[in-house]
Chain A
Amino acid sequence: NAGVTQTPKFRILKIGQSMTLQCTQDMNHNYMYWYRQDPGMGLKLIYYSVGAGITDKGEVPNGYNVSRSTTEDFPLRLELAAPSQTSVYFCASSLLIGETQYFGPGTRLLVL
Chain B
Amino acid sequence: DAKTTQPNSMESNEEEPVHLPCNHSTISGTDYIHWYRQLPSQGPEYVIHGLTSNVNNRMASLAIAEDRKSSTLILHRATLRDAAVYYCILRVFEYNNNDMRFGAGTRLTVKP
Contact = CB atoms under 8 A, between A and B. Distances in A.
Interface of A: 4, 31, 33, 35, 40-45, 48, 56, 58-59, 90, 92, 97-98, 100-106
B104 A40 contact: yes
A42 B43 contact: no
Nearest to B92: A98
B103 A48 contact: no
Interface stretch (B13-21, B69-77, B93-101): B93-101
Interface residues of B, number: 24
Interface in B16-43: 32, 41-43
Contacts of B92: 98
Contacts of B11: none
B50 interface: no
Interface of B: 32, 41-46, 49, 87, 91-105
Count chain B CB atoms within 10 A of each CB in A33, A43, A56, A100 and give the residue with the most: A43
B98 A43 contact: no
B104 A42 contact: yes
A42 B45 contact: no
B43 A105 contact: yes
A104 B105 CA distance: 19
B109 to A, nearest CB: 15
A43 B42 contact: no
A106 to B, nearest CB: 5
A103 B98 contact: no
A45 B45 contact: no
B15 to A, nearest CB: 28
A45 B100 contact: yes
A4 B101 CA distance: 20
Given A48-B98, A97-B95, A98-B93, A90 B104 contact: no
Nearest to B100: A101
A56 B96 CA distance: 11
A43 B91 contact: no
B42 A98 contact: no
